[in-house]
Amino acid sequence: MGNNSTQMVNGKAFEYSILKEFREKLGKVTNVEVIENNALVTAKNCFDEFTQQEQGRYLLTASFAVNFLMDIEPRLANDIDKNDILQLEILTDFQGQLGDVRDIVAIRLLQKWEIGVSAKNNHKAVKHSRLSNDIDFGEKWLGVKCSKKYFDEVGAVFIPLKEIKVKSNSTQKWNTLEHKEDDIYVPILNAFKKELNRIYATSPNKVAGSLIEYLVGNKDFYKVIKGDNSVEIQAYNLHGTLNLPFQNIAPKFKTPQMSLPDKIINIDFKENSKTTLIVEFNNEWKLSFRIHNASSRIEPSLKFDINLLSAPTCLFTNTLSVPQGV
């Protein structure tokens, strides 16, 4: 298995573990319904690839996370009456393309309430997005079309790459290119930087916040990050929908609402790097955009590995130690 596919299997297995723990713990105290869909089947198949001991490790980590989430989300375990069913669902990857980064959602239709969990196995990246000659990142991410000038600039790089791919019958590899960073990465990042600045200038207040929402998540969620002997829980309470009380039952911990940015302060290359842009916002938000070739073979597209470098200091974060023995 390649790294990407290994990471995918690990991540899906962890999603299934969290869903399973939610169902088992909450099924004892309220009516629970698991939505059957292809995403659930995929996640279970990934979970089933592991040994019984490895599965136990996933479930133990998920159990710690779910117990904590039940403490800070009283609506998970508390219903109005027997008709107030808690629905659990693993979302499709398509939702992520629309800016909803949640992997698992818990929904109470009767209470008009839901929370979501983004499950991560040993990594904290926020988004993987592509750039190419025909991907309009402005429209896709922010609802503002990229300019002809942008497409002309990236086309000058991507069109020759497409010709190489065709001529070599998709066999030529990136490592055959001598000056890949200077000839490909730098001009693409410069074009992206200029276009992002142009789009930002069209509506500064809206664009800064929308960029964070698209890349970090446009719906409030908990990020649950599985480590080797720990699990970290972060509350991205951007719109104030997390951590709500149920009637007179209050959450055991408070997760403050975070402020979205309304300004981009700076977009520039990371120091001594030809592959990474740093985008700084107000309200303590900062993102890194590292560009790379996703495949070993030359193709007319590149991939961003986008990481959250800093968030508002009020971001609720709690790390739980998970015992080594199962």
DSSP 177-222: -TTHIIIIIHHHHHHHHHHHHHHHHH-HHHHHHHHHHHHH-SS-EE
Quick one: which of 80, 202, 65 has its CA closest to 121?
65
DSSP, residue by residue, 239-292: SS-SS--BTTB--SS--PPPPPP--EEEEEEPTT-SSEEEEEESTT-EEEEEEE
Average pLDDT, consecutive stretches of 10 residues, N- to C-terminus, the chain (326 residues)? 71 96 97 96 96 95 97 97 96 69 94 94 75 94 95 96 95 93 97 97 92 90 93 95 96 94 96 97 96 92 92 94 78
Q: In this predicted structure, what is the pLDDT of residue 126?
A: 77
Cα 165 to Cα 142: distance, rounded to the nearest angstrom: 31
When computed from its CA atoms, the radius of gyration of the chain, rounded to whole angstroms, is 22
Give me the amino acid identity at 135: I
Structural domain spans, the chain: 3-121, 126-212+260-310
Q: In this predicted structure, what is the pLDDT of residue 100?
A: 80
DSSP H or E run through 23: helix 3-26
DSSP 138: I
8 A C-beta contact, residue 137 and residue 146: yes
Q: In this predicted structure, what is the pLDDT of residue 1?
A: 45
For 271, other C-beta atoms within 10 Å of its C-beta total 7
Distances (CA, A) of 96 to 56, 126, 197, 250: 28, 11, 25, 31
Q: In this predicted structure, what is the pLDDT of residue 97?
A: 59
